[in-house]
Amino acid sequence: MDNTKKGDLKIDGSGSAPGGEYNSVKINGAGRITGDTVCQNFRINGSGNVDGNIEMEDGKINGTGTIDGNIKAKQLKITGSGQVRGTISGDNIYVSGSVTIGENLDVQKIKIEGSAKIGHNCNAENFHSDGTFEISGLLNADDITIKLYHSKSRAKEIGGGRINVSVGSDAGFNVLKTIFTLGMYNPVLEADSIEGDEIVLENTTAAVVRGTNVTVGKGCNIGLVEYKGCLLKTGDAKVGEEKKI
């Protein structure tokens, strides 16, 4: 960033503005930005559209944000609902609302408490989900922690260093019970293949699991486990075939 002071952009009612370089961008009503945008702070409280790519230091989508391009962000919090046609790249992403990404998510750290849908791959150093996700391609992260609460999560492939999947403790038991009785309680992870160094699984269905040390816990249904160190099966784990390499 150079030293020339950049202006702020604020849309309170309904309006549209051109892209460009701003200090802060705030959309409180219904706003549209046309063109690529670079800013320090970015916030959507109402409903915002960006027709282009956007780069920010710190962003927050509280309302509804639709980005018809890519997002690059140091920090991004999505507590409302975000739709991104391209890729989100950056350092730290937190989703407590919902996000739909057309292409990839490439970040250092991602925490999902709401729901995330990713069209291609998810690359992160640290992947943590307390919510639900659907990744059409590969989930690749060094440290993957997945806590399953009430609904199904899925990735085509999962790969990384440490992979830990468990059923979240039922803090809101009554809520869960209500959902359960409605037939919607389904805390399951599904994947075609899971590969990692240290793998611990619960409630997971996968065709193949390959790793150094693998623990297959309750509620699992795995077609084939290939392991180098040791394999531990607990509870009602189902493993079709196991091979020590």
Question: With respect to other proteins, which residue has the nearer C-beta, 68 or 125?
Answer: 125
Question: With respect to other proteins, which residue has the nearer C-beta, 80 or 211?
Answer: 211
**Residue 10 beta carbon to other proteins: minimum distance, rounded to whole angstroms:** 35
**Residue 32 beta carbon to other proteins: minimum distance, rounded to whole angstroms:** 34
**Residue 74 beta carbon to other proteins: minimum distance, rounded to whole angstroms:** 16
Q: How far is CA 173 from CA 67, 179, 180, 185, in A?
A: 37, 10, 10, 12
Question: With respect to other proteins, which residue has the nearer C-beta, 154 or 210?
Answer: 210
**Residue 132 beta carbon to other proteins: minimum distance, rounded to whole angstroms:** 23
Question: With respect to other proteins, which residue has the nearer C-beta, 167 or 239?
Answer: 239
**Residue 91 beta carbon to other proteins: minimum distance, rounded to whole angstroms:** 13
Q: Which residues bind other proteins (CB under 8 A)?
A: 123, 125, 140-142, 159-162, 192-193, 195-197, 207-208, 210-212, 223-224, 226, 245
Question: With respect to other proteins, which residue has the nearer C-beta, 9 or 88?
Answer: 88
**Residue 138 beta carbon to other proteins: minimum distance, rounded to whole angstroms:** 9
Question: With respect to other proteins, which residue has the nearer C-beta, 113 or 142?
Answer: 142
DSSP string, the chain: --SSPPPPEEE-SEEEEEEEE-SEEEESSEEEEEEEEEEEEEEESSEEEEES-EEEEEEEE-SEEEESS-EEEEEEEESSEEEESS-EEEEEEEESSEEEESS-EEEEEEEESSEEEESS-EEEEEEEESSEEEEEEEEEEEEEEEEE-SS-EEEEEEEEEEEEEEEPP-TTHHHHHHHHHTT-----EEEEEEEEEEEEESSEEEEEEEEEEEEE-TT-EEEEEEESS-EEE-TT-EEEEEEE-
